[in-house]
Structure 1
Amino acid sequence: NAAQISVSYCEPWANKDAPLKALKWMFRDDAPLLFRPQLPFGEGWQQWRWGLQFLAQCNDEAFERNVQQLVALGAYSHAALKDVVAATGIEYNRLERGIAHYFTDQKTFDTAGEAAALMRKYGVARRVVSTAELLAIEPAFKPFAHRIVGGTYTASDESGDARVFTQALAQRCADRGARFLFGHDVLRLEKAGGAIESIAVRPRSIRGESGNLAYLKADEVVVACGSYTAPLLRTVGVDLPIYPGKGYSATFKLLKPELAPFVSTIDDEVKCAMSRLGDHLRVAGTIEVGGYDLSLDTPLAKARCKMLADRIEEVLPGVCDTRLEEQGGTPNFWTGLRPATPTNIPYIGKTRVGRLWVNAGHGTLGWTHGAGSGKAIAELISGEVPAMDFGFYGMDRTRGSLQASAA
C-alpha cells in the first residue's frame, strides 16, 4: 500500500544477508523486518515452518531464481493493468514518473550495481545514479542531500492509489452484472467427492444478531483471501506456506505541495516507500512476522507508526503534516497483513481438490502483481496458458498443462 507499481523493485525478502539482519533486528521496535516468535503450536507452528522454509531460500541461487519469477509476473501484470486502464478510463492518482531508490550507507550503495545488473538481465531497465542525478530526477530530496550517497532509478515503474482503482473497477463489474457480498464471512469450504460443492458464508453480525447461513455454488472456485487463504485451504486438505506479515502505512496531508516528490521513492535505510497521491503523501514500510494481529494501539505499533512520521519529517522537513494525534495532527495510520510466502512468489493455479483454484501469497507486491494474477487465473480456468515464463501452481511447465497438485 505504498501505491507503487514496482516491477523493478521486487527483490524477495529471502537473501543471503537476511538471517543475520533478522537476528540483529529482533529487539528493535523500529526494525524493517521484525520476526516475533510464537509458541510452536497451532498457528504458531505455521510460523516456524514458514521461517524454516524462508531460511532455505536465503542463498544466491534461490534469490536469482525467485527474482526471475517475480519480474516475469510483474511485467505481465503491468501490461495487464495498462490494458484495463485503457479500456475503462479509471483515474486513481496515477503518476508515470518511475521509481527511485536512495541510499544513505556507502557500503550498501556499493552493491546496488549488482542488483541493477540482475534486473537488467531479466529485462528491467534499472540503473545506478549518482546523488546529483537522483536529485535531478526528484529535486524534492535536496534538503536530505547531505545524507544521500547515491541511488537507482527505473523510469518504467509508476504509482497510483490501489483503493481508488479497485473500488472503481468493482463498480464497473457490478454495472455489468457481477455481485459482491460485502460484509460476509467465509466460514468454510464444503467438499464432496474430491471436489468443492459449495462455500458456506454468513453476513457479519449487526447489533449482536447473526445473519442466515448461506451456501454459494459455482462451476469453479478461486480462493484469493490474502493471509487468510492458508487456514481456509487447510480445511480441505490443501496446505500452502502463506503466513501474514504485518505492514504499516501512513498518509499525510501535504502542507507544501510544491516541495513534495512526484517520483515514487524507496528509502533504503529504513526500508520504507513513499508515493504522492493527490494532495497527500503515502508512506509504507516495516514488516512484522508475528501472527494475525492488526492492532494499532500497542506500544510496538505506535513506535512503528511514529518511525514513519519521523522519517518523513527528516527527509522532507515541513512538507507534510507529520504531527501525531497527541500533537494536534491528523495522520491516517493503517496496518494490514501481507500474505507472504517463503519465496515471495505467489501461488496462482489449480489445487488437487476439484473445482478449487488459488490466487494468493503476493506479499508486499499485491498492487504490482494484481492485474496480471487475475488475468492469469482467468486464462488458466479457461484452459489457456498465460504468455509468461512462470511456475503456476499445479501446472506441469514441461507439458504446458495443468495437473493435480501434490499439496
Structure 2
Amino acid sequence: MKVIVLGAGVIGVTSAWYLAKLGHEVEVVDRQPAAAMETSFANAGQVSPGYSTPWAMPGLPRKALGWMLQKHSPLVIRARIDFAMFRWMTQLLTNCTEHAYDVNKARMLRIAEYSRDCLTALREETGITYDDRQRGLIQLFRTDAQLEHAHEDMRLLAESEVPHELLDVAAIVRREPGLAHAQHLLKGGLFLPGDESGDAHMFTQRLAQKAEELGVTFHYETGIEGLDASASEILGVRTSTGRMTGDAYVVALGSYSPLLLRPMGIRLPVYPVKGYSLTVPLTDPDRAPVSTVNDETYKVAMTRLGDRIRIGGTAELTGYDLRLSPDRRETLELSFSDLFGGGDLGRATYWTGLRPNTPDGTPVVGPSGRFRNLWLNTGHGTLGWTMACGSGHMLADLIAGRRPNIPHLDLSIDRYAS
C-alpha cells in the first residue's frame, strides 16, 4: 500500500517509520526544508509519560483567573475575535470535572506509557542517539497547595501502575544537586523514574534518515494546498509541486491539521497553544539539571541536553501568531535563575512554537470518520515528543488492519461525535 504522510514533525516521521517497517511504500510531504523544523524543533525535551496531565481539571477556571493577575502567568489569553478559540475553550471547560479529568488522564497515561516503551524498543533496534537520558523527572512544588494536589495525581498514577515517589526537599537535592541553593523555595517534589529526556529535533532528523534507508521518500519545501475527495475517499493531495496520490493519507500537521480538514467537512477540535523555549549554553554543571525538572509554579520545564539546557513552557492563546514575546522570555529566565542558574542566558536562543491541543488533552489518533482512507495523528499538545512513537506505531497497525497493542477506540475523533 502507498501511504502519503502529511507533515514531517516528530509525529509524521514516526508514523512514516512504523508504516515503512510494515512494508508500505511511504512518502512524506512538508513545507520546510528538513524534518522537525516547526513545533518539534525546540520543545522542552521531555519524554514524560508520568507527567501526562490534561489542562482541563477541576478548579481550572478559578486558577486561570488568578493567573491572569500575575505578571509571570503560565497562561496568557490574547483578546481577539476567534470563534475557533471560543469553541475550543468551551469544550475545555466541559472537561473540567473530576470524572472527565480521571478519564482523560488515564487515556493520556495509556498512550504515553506505551509510547515510551516503543521508543525504548526503537532505540535498542536502531542505536539512535539524541542527547538522551533515562534518569527520570522531578515535578517541583513551591506551595503546600501544589503538594496537596499531587496526592490526587498520585492516585491516578497508582491506578495506571506508573512508578512514582513523593520526595522531601532533601531527597530532591540528592537527585538534583544543582537545586541545593534553591531548596528554601521548595516544599517537595514528585519523582517519576520512568520519564526520560532528549532532543526531539535531533531524534526526528536522525529517524528520518533511517526511514529514508528503509525506502521512505521525503518531499521537503513542498506546500500542502488541499485534498481532493469523492464522497467516501480521498483521491489526492494538491501541493505546490503538483498533485500526489496514494492508497491512504495521514494528516500529521499539528496545529495546522484543522485548517486542512475543515474544507473536507471534518471539524477537528485542535487549537494552537503557543509555547516558548530558551536553549542555553551550559556554563556550570554543578548548577544545572542532571536530568529534567518541572517548576509547577510557572509551568516551566528545564532539561539537560548534552552541553545545553532547554528551558520551555508558558501557554498563550493567540491563534497562529509566531511573534516572540519579551514577557514570556522573562518568565522562563526567572524560573531558571530561581532554581538553577548554571547557564549563560545572554547567549540563549529564544524560540516559539504552536502546540496542537485538544480540549480533553488526548491526541486524535485513528480513522478520520468520514473518508475511508484518511487517517489522523495529531492533537498531542505539549506531549508530542512523549507520545510520538506510540501514536505512530498504533496508527501504522490500524492502517495495516492489525490489532494495536493498547485500547484505541477512545483515541479517535469519534469521541467528539456527540
| TM-score, normalised by the number of residues in structure 1 | 0.89
CA, structure 1 residues 216+270, in 2 after alignment: closer, same or farther (shift >3 Å)?
same
Give the residue type in structure 2 aligned to 1:108: Q
Cα distance in 2 for partners of 1:7, 1:316 equals 24
Cα distance in 1 for partners of 2:77, 2:96 equals 15
Give the residue type in structure 1 aligned to 2:339: V
> Contact (CA 8 Å) 2:268, 2:413: kept in 1 or not?
no
> Contact (CA 8 Å) 1:313, 1:320: kept in 2 or not?
no
Give the alignment partner of residue 366 of structure 2, picking from 346, 349, 354: 349
Give the alignment partner of residue 380 of structure 2, picking from 354, 362, 380: 362
Equivalent residue, structure 1, for 2:301: 273
Q: CA deviation at 1:87?
A: 1.0
Give the alignment partner of residue 121 of structure 2, picking from 73, 83, 98: 83
* C-alpha distance after superposition, 1:146-185 (max 9, x if no partner): 1111111011111111111110000111122211111121
Equivalent residue, structure 2, for 1:250: 278
Equivalent residue, structure 2, for 1:200: 238
Shifted more, 251-260 versus 359-368: the winner is: 251-260
* C-alpha distance after superposition, 1:282-333 (max 9, x if no partner): 010100112000111xxxx11101221222122113x1101xxxxxx22111
Cα distance in 1 for partners of 2:77, 2:61 equals 10
Give the residue type in structure 1 aligned to 2:263: T
- Does residue 11 of the first structure (1) align with residue 20 of the second (2)? no
CA, structure 1 residues 228+134, in 2 after alignment: closer, same or farther (shift >3 Å)?
same
> Contact (CA 8 Å) 1:22, 1:35: kept in 2 or not?
no
- Give the 4+ runs in structure 1 shifted more than 4 A: none
Equivalent residue, structure 1, for 2:66: 24
Give the residue type in structure 2 aligned to 1:109: L
Equivalent residue, structure 2, for 1:58: 96
Q: CA deviation at 1:110?
A: 2.3
Shifted more, 356-365 versus 132-141: the winner is: 132-141
Cα distance in 1 for partners of 2:77, 2:152 equals 27
Unaligned runs of 5+ in 2: 1-42
Equivalent residue, structure 1, for 2:259: 231
- Does residue 321 of the first structure (1) align with residue 340 of the second (2)? no
Cα distance in 2 for partners of 1:386, 1:266 equals 32
Cα distance in 2 for partners of 1:259, 1:195 equals 56
Q: How does 1:50-199 map to 2 (within 5 A)?
A: 50-199=88-237
* C-alpha distance after superposition, 1:253-300 (max 9, x if no partner): 11112432212111111111111001110010100112000111xxxx
Q: CA deviation at 1:190?
A: 0.8
Q: Secondary structure of the residue that 2:104 maps to in structure 1? A: helix
Give the residue type in structure 2 aligned to 1:113: H
Unaligned runs of 5+ in 1: 203-212, 323-328, 397-404
Cα distance in 1 for partners of 2:105, 2:413 equals 20
Q: CA deviation at 1:18?
A: 0.9
Q: CA deviation at 1:20?
A: 1.3
Q: CA deviation at 1:98?
A: 0.4
Give the residue type in structure 1 aligned to 2:330: K
CA, structure 1 residues 406+10, in 2 after alignment: closer, same or farther (shift >3 Å)?
closer
Identity, % of aligned positions: 36
Equivalent residue, structure 1, for 2:407: 389
> Contact (CA 8 Å) 2:277, 2:310: kept in 1 or not?
yes
Give the alignment partner of residue 292 of structure 1, picking from 291, 306, 320: 320
Equivalent residue, structure 1, for 2:390: 372
* C-alpha distance after superposition, 1:217-262 (max 9, x if no partner): 0110000100000111111111111000000011111111243221
* C-alpha distance after superposition, 1:87-119 (max 9, x if no partner): 111111111110011111122212222211221
Q: Secondary structure of the residue that 1:31 maps to in structure 2? A: coil
Cα distance in 1 for partners of 2:70, 2:142 equals 20
Cα distance in 2 for partners of 1:276, 1:131 equals 21
Q: CA deviation at 1:354?
A: 2.6
Which of the two has greater helix per residue? 2
> Contact (CA 8 Å) 1:246, 1:288: kept in 2 or not?
yes
State the number of aligned residues: 374
Cα distance in 1 for partners of 2:181, 2:104 equals 37
Which has the greater radius of gyration? 1
CA, structure 1 residues 70+365, in 2 after alignment: closer, same or farther (shift >3 Å)?
same
Q: CA deviation at 1:394?
A: 5.9
Equivalent residue, structure 2, for 1:307: 331
| TM-score, normalised by the number of residues in structure 2 | 0.87
Cα distance in 1 for partners of 2:309, 2:183 equals 20
Q: CA deviation at 1:395?
A: 7.0
Cα distance in 2 for partners of 1:310, 1:406 equals 43
Cα distance in 1 for partners of 2:417, 2:155 equals 36
* C-alpha distance after superposition, 1:123-160 (max 9, x if no partner): 11122111111111111100101111111101111111
RMSD between superposed Cα atoms in Å: 1.6
Cα distance in 1 for partners of 2:365, 2:413 equals 9
Give the residue type in structure 1 aligned to 2:219: L
Cα distance in 2 for partners of 1:50, 1:124 equals 30
